[in-house]
Every structure is written in structure tokens, then in C-alpha cells.
Amino acid sequence: MQPFVDFRNVWLAYNDELLAQSHYAVEDISLQVQQGEFIAIVGPSGCGKSTFMKLTTGLKMPSKGSIHVGGQPVTGPLKISGMAFQAPSLLPWRTTLDNVLLPLEIVEPYRSQFRSRRAEFADKARRLLDSVGLAGYADKYPWQLSGGMQQRASICRALVHEPKMLLLDEPFGALDAFTREELWCTLRDLQAAQKFNVILVTHDLRESVFLADTVYVMSKSPGRIVVKRQIELPQPRDLELTYTPAFTDIVHELRGHIGAFRKTAGQAGAAATSGTNATSGTGGNNGTSGTSGTSGTSDTGVPR
């Protein structure tokens, strides 16, 4: 079957000057996301995760290589995706319901039908809010909601126009561990019901293993995909699974890849700066503690 998202040898330099210096934010990215697949991208800060999202949605065009989504070459911003970010960014002067309705006021074909079909659209938005546990909050303003509730509403807003693809850039990063885990389950259930593709960017390895079919690890400088890990754990997954050895082994394995890579990068950096001692500069908790610090609910897995 044709992949839904298809990156072939994609490189991006943010501007001509950087291109002239061969300074790429991401290098030689090749990956395929199958229809309905849930992928997670993990990696240290600045490695190019958000850049990958911009390329997927057509907000940036590659300097080299090709990107196809839904079988079509990406030539500009895509309408078939919904996005949610770390900050819920709801409009404070609109009720929760009106925030969720926003994409339908903007995106065609809904836009031109919005006035005539408003009641129908509002019903749909309310059902979506109900499904994520926000029944009764539709008519409240965002500032009357907790952070977790706001993030739920922002996911509803990203899904209301039934996108084929949901892009989530650190959507749960600002939430406490318990709320975050609740929202993992919300997202799991929405995706199981609606079968949209998900591309999730996260620093949290447990989150990636719990939710994704496939986890990609990116390295920093250059921003490349260094590991592809299929998560064969049975689905649907529930939170108990996160305490099993099968689960924590995968988290440890991924943490090991990142630790190993950071150690190598640190060594290269130290060698470059000191010219003498290649093992200095890898200290702290970066390179040497490949399998530690991945248990418990407060750990985010990937150091910033």
C-alpha cells in the first residue's frame, strides 16, 4: 500500500545563506508513514523535530529531496492536517465551543457552509468535547478550565474538521504526569475511533512507547533520523502496561540510543575543542547514564 506520508532524502536549510554554507536543520530524512499509523519522533532540543513538522504540513519546502502526503507532492500548506502544540493557545474571548469551532470557520469546505450549518457543527463539536471528558465545559471560557482541560479542548479543535493527519508538537509537555497520562488515553481512544494518522513530537520516551506504532529517534547536529523502532506491544495499551518489563525494556533501549549518541557527539565536540582528551565533555547525566532515569512518572526521558 502507498504510504500516507513519504519523505525521500529530505534536507532543509532555513535560508539561502545557510544553504550556501551547507548548514541544514535536517539532513537526509527518509521515512514512510503508513495509512492510520501513529509515529512518534523523539530527540534532543534543536535536533529538527519541529522542522520535520513544518515540512510535513508544507509550511517549509525541502532544499533537497521530495515529500508526498496522501500520494500528492507537497507544494504548499496542507488542509488535511490538524495541529496542537505545547501551549493550548485557545482564544480567551471565545468559549471552549467557539474555540473548537474555529477551524470550521476558516477551512473550506466548512467555511462557506458555516452560517447555514452552524447548529450541526456545534453539535459535532460538543460530541467531540464530550468524548474527551469535557461535557459541561463547552460554554465556559478557556480561563475557566484547567491546563489539562485546555489541552483537551485544543486537541478537539485540531480534530473537528476531521483531518487525515494529526500533528502534535509536545502537546502534553506542560502538564503534570497524571494529567499527561490521562491525555495519552484520550488520544489513544480518539485515534482508535477515528483512525487518523498521528505524528507526535515528544521529549517523553514513555509517552512515545505508550502511544506510537513506530518511534523515530533523531540526532542533533546534524538533524538526522538515527533509529527506527517498531513498538510491537499489543494494542489497545493501557497504563498498567507502562509498569511491565516489556515496556520499560523498550524505553531503556531508546534511552540507550540517545545516551550513546550524545556520548559520541560529546566526544566529538570535546575532541574538537580541546584537541587532546576525547572523553571529556560527556559528563553530567548525558552520555554515560544510558539506561538510568527512565522509570517513574515524572521522567521525560530525553534531556533537553
Ligand X SMILES: Nc1ncnc2c1ncn2[C@@H]1O[C@H](COP(=O)(O)OP(=O)(O)OP(=O)(O)O)[C@@H](O)[C@H]1O
Nearer to Mg ion, 223 or 290 (CB): 223
What's the CA gap between 207 and 203, in Å, rounded? 8
Task: Report yes or no: 202 and 226 within 8 Å, Cβ to Cβ.
Answer: no
Name the one range near Mg ion by CB under 5 A: 2-10, 42-50, 110-118, 225-233.
Answer: 42-50
- The grid coordinates of residue 215 equal 518511534
Check binding of 49 to ligand X (CB under 6 A).
yes
Contacting residue, 7, 11, 51, 129, with ligand X by CB under 6 A: 51
The CA distances from residue 126 to 119, 172, 230, in Å, are 10, 22, 35
> Binding to Mg ion by residue 50, rule CB under 5 A?
yes
Output the nine-digit C-alpha cell for 34: 503508513
Peptide bond into 142 cis (omega under 30): no
Chosen residue from 35, 50, 267, 288 binding ligand X by CB under 6 A: 50
Pattern 222-261, ligand X, x by CB under 6 A:
-x--------------------------------------
Q: The C-alpha cell of 249 is what?
A: 525494556
Which residues in the 20-39 window bind ligand X by CB under 6 A? 25
Q: Is there binding between residue 291 and ligand X (CB under 6 A)? A: no
We find the least distance from the C-beta atom of residue 23 to ligand X, in angstroms, to be: 9
DSSP per residue, 189-252: HHHHHH--EEEEEES-HHHHHHH-SEEEEEETTTTEEEEEEE----SS--GGGGGSHHHHHHHH
Q: One symbol per residue from 4 to 23: x for binding ligand X (CB under 6 A), - otherwise; what is it? A: ----------x---------
Binding range to ligand X, per CB under 6 A, among 1-9, 45-53, 130-138, 158-166 = 45-53
Nearer to ligand X, 164 or 224 (CB): 224
The rounded distance, in Å, linking the Cα atoms of 186 and 208 is: 15
**Residues in contact with ligand X by the rule CB under 6 A:** 14, 25, 45-51, 223
* Residues that bind Mg ion in the complex, under the rule CB under 5 A: 50
